[in-house]
Each structure stands twice: as structure tokens, then as C-alpha cells.
Amino acid sequence: MKRADIVVIGGSAAGLTAAITARRHYPEKQTLLIRKEEQVLIPCGIPYIFGTVGSPEKNLIPDAVLSKNEIQLLIDEVVDLDREKGEVTTAGGESVAYDRLILATGSLPAMPPVPGFDLGGVFPVFKDVAHLSHMQEELKGISDLVVIGGGFIGVEFADECRKSLQANVSIVEMLPHCLMLAYDEEFCTEAERLLRERGITPITDTKVSRVAGNDRVEAVELDGGNAIPAQAVIVGIGATANLELAMKSSLPIGPTGGIVVDRTMRTADARVFACGDCAEKISFFGGRPSPLKLASIATAEARIAGANLYGTRRENIGTIGVWSTAIGDTAFATAGLTESLAIRNGYSYVVGAAEAVNRHPGGMPGAYPMKVKLVFEKRTGVILGGQVMGDKAAGELINAISACVQRRMTADDIAVFQTGTHPALTASPIAYQFVNAAEAAIAAAR
């Protein structure tokens, strides 16, 4: 029987980060990472395999990071967990004893009970090199591709496939707009305009009734009777926690279908922790259950779990939700609550927005309009969230907004925020969108 002080199950964003964190905090402990995959994909890069990056082999997390951090690796599938004995068993017949265990088993693509999802040419998005390579081969030469789901996964797959395929590409989304769970309506409508400009057809406010065909998909039928021709379908409607091990070992499961953990990421078993997509989450805003599954959330949780194995050093403040994507040259990003989410969560709120070119003067190379929209609690002035639309700098600006949300800064705090600006890099300090959006909110609250 093998033995390790710390065993981590799962080698993607959460598992790898948890193992590295454990080594940093407990360098005297032996750490073993067990994963079933020979090669591990960068999760957020998967849609880009089908366009910008070009192949699964160009979207891998190198194993060198494990040896650099003196983390042992066992490539095998864990099929059983005996919490009383403190050991796990693999499909290859290996038994491994542990002192502390971290479950980072991730998630599986959601597949609702729609007739025809089992036909050839229908592809859920598994994080598997062989599966994605097969998808690439199957997509070659098709004339019609339908993407089911207009969230981040669906939009990014549609955009990337449109780059590489000479095919009609459609997105079917059941909500009134694509990306509607992440952005307010004015951001969604601009995203849809850009998709159409790039030759993609969004079909919104519509459900799929079935996928039609004999052995292979031929069309996607919609509620209302319409049908879209399709030689391939990509299903990108979200993910469900991979709970097989947790359920086998009778660990409690929470209301959103994740392993129940406390704020230290400890499960009901004091020696077992869980993080990433397999773990239950609570919202930063009021502590309600949160269904969000993001690599950025997974790595934050992993840094908490890995640090707390032998004593509490960190606690989870709850899920803020920080998102970004790009359609062509336009980036969309959000942190915390949008205006529509503030309404849904029962907040009395005020909004401030500001738009300006991202360079000064506007004739500088790289000039591009950027819009910032901020949401504040009306009574306290505390920031609840923000959205950014503009050039690729939006991806970093939203991280600054997330920091302000996390520290519960007020509109006045942000209005006097000391920013660094430069003509070739940012908007003018006079027109700086983040600060001016806060000033607009203060004015609106009067």
C-alpha cells in the first residue's frame, strides 16, 4: 500500500492549485496528486482549441509544475474512498492511505433529458483530449453547426468554430438573450449584434424540443415547430458536480448539488476537504447557495483548502462571481451583482455608468470605446458589482472592480480612487470610466 500525508484527487484547476498550496504551507508533508487523465487541459481554453489555438495538444497544463513543486503524481482513476480507514482505491488496484484528503473531482457537462442527445454528431463538452480531438475531426466539412446554450461556453464555441469552419453557425438559448445570466440587457444586445456581425445566428427565448435524425443528427427541432439543419450539435448548457466518490463515501451533498463544505473548505469529515466544481458554494451576497462554477472560483477555493489542512489559516468569504469573455475585439466582463441580479436579490440600489475612449487623446493607436456600469447599495453606497465592455483591458479592470466589491468599498471611496493613467494605455484621468461611473451613481442617489 502507498501512503502520503496529503492526497489530492483531481488534476485540473482546483486539484493542481490545492496540491501546490499544500506544498507551500506544509513543505514537510509528502503530497500525492492522483488523476485519471494522461494530459490535463486548461479548462477555460477548451473553446479556443476549435479556432485560435488549433488543437487540444496546444491547450495543456504542463506536468513540469508538479515536479517543480515536488508533488508526486499517480495517473489512475480513484474508484473508492474509505473514510474510516483513511484510504482510497484506484481502478488499477492501488490502495493509497492518507492523513489529509482533498477532493477536486470537478464537474461533468450537463445533459438535460432532450430526445436525440444520444445521436452521433451531438457533443457535450468533456474535458478530455481524445474526445475533443474526435470532435474536431467530426466537425470538418459540415455545413450547419448548432450550439445549444448561449452562455459563455456556447458563445465562445460558436465564435471559435465560425473562425475555423465554412459552416452556418447558430446558437439556441432559452433565455431572452445570450449571456443573460452574466450581464444586463444592454451588454447582451451588443454581444448579440457582434455575433450576427461575425456570421453567427442567435436564436433566443427558444427551447430545444428534440434533436432529430436516425443514427446521426440531421436537425434541431425547436418549441413552436421550427427546425434548424445540423450535421453537428455542441451542447454547452453548463456543468454538474462530479459526486461519484463523495456519494460512495456518504459525504453530505448540498442544495445546488455540491459536496457540503464549511468556510475552510472542510467537509463533514475533519480529514477530508473539497474544492472546485465538486464543492457546494455560497454567495458573497447574503450567504445563499450559489450554483456558479468557474476556474477562478476553483483556484481560490483550492488555495483555502490547501492552506487549512493542519489548522485554519484562511476562510472563504463566499462567491462573488467574476466573469469575462470576448467576441472578436470586444471584451465583456462582470463582477458581483448586475442590475438585474440586484433586483432579484431584493436590493435597493443605484446605478452609475460612464463611457469614454480608452486612450487619450482619442486619436492614439488602439483607441476603443469602453463602458463601465457599477451597481451600489442605495442606503450604504457599498458597491455590489460592475460590468465592463470595451477592449481587452476589461479583463483586468474587472479584477480591480472585484477587489472593490470584496473590500466593500463605497461609491465615495471609488470616486477618489487614485488611478494610474497613461495616454497609450488608459482613458484620460478626467474621463476615467471606473471613477466617473461611481460619481454618476452618487449623483443619481441624491
Per-residue pLDDT of 136-181, as tens digits, reads 999 999 999 999 999 999 999 999 999 999 999 999 999 999 999 9
Paired strand residues for 390: 331
Q: Extract the C-alpha cell encoding 297.
A: 472560483
| Topology (CATH level 3) of domain 2-108+240-307 | FAD/NAD(P)-binding domain (3.50.50)
pLDDT band at residue 112 under the 50/70/90 scheme: confident
Residue 229 confidence (pLDDT) above 90: yes
pLDDT band at residue 275 under the 50/70/90 scheme: very high
Per-residue confidence (pLDDT) for residue 395, from 0 to 100: 95
Per-residue confidence (pLDDT) for residue 446, from 0 to 100: 84
Q: Looking at residues 250-262, what average pLDDT do you find? A: 98
**Distance of alpha carbon 129 from alpha carbon 226, whole angstroms:** 35
pLDDT band at residue 292 under the 50/70/90 scheme: very high
pLDDT over 70 percentage in the chain: 100
Q: Looking at residues 367-385, what average pLDDT do you find? A: 97
Q: Where in the chain is the domain with CATH 3.30.390.30?
A: 322-445
Q: What is the per-residue pLDDT across 319-336, written as a single tens digit (0 to 9) for each? A: 999 999 999 999 999 999
220 close to 208: Cβ distance less than 8 angstroms: yes
- Nearest alpha carbon to residue 386 among 396, 399, 400, 372: 372
Q: Within 13 Å of residue 437, how many CA atoms lie on the same side as its CB?
A: 24
Q: Extract the C-alpha cell encoding 279.
A: 464543492
* Burial class of residue 25, CB neighbours in 10 A (0-12, 13-18, 19+): middle
**Distance of alpha carbon 295 from alpha carbon 39, whole angstroms:** 17
Cα 97 to Cα 33, 86, 88, 414, distances in angstroms: 13, 6, 7, 51
Architecture of the domain whose range is 111-237: 3-Layer(bba) Sandwich (3.50)
Q: Extract the C-alpha cell encoding 409.
A: 468599498
Residue 72 confidence (pLDDT) above 90: yes
- Nearest alpha carbon to residue 214 among 89, 92, 120: 120
Per-residue confidence (pLDDT) for residue 241, from 0 to 100: 98
Q: Where in the chain is the domain with CATH 3.50.50.60?
A: 2-108+240-307, 111-237
pTM: 0.95
Element (H, E) at 357: strand 349-357
Residue 29 confidence (pLDDT) above 90: yes
Q: What is the per-residue pLDDT across 119-139, written as a single tens digit (0 to 9) for each? A: 999 999 999 999 999 999 999
Residue 339 confidence (pLDDT) above 90: yes
Q: Which CATH class is domain 322-445?
A: alpha beta
161 close to 54: Cβ distance less than 8 angstroms: no
pLDDT band at residue 224 under the 50/70/90 scheme: confident
Tell me which DSSP letter residue 92 carries: T
**Distance of alpha carbon 430 from alpha carbon 354, whole angstroms:** 12
Residue 113 confidence (pLDDT) above 90: no
Residue-averaged pLDDT of the chain:
96
Cell 474621463 sits on residue: 431
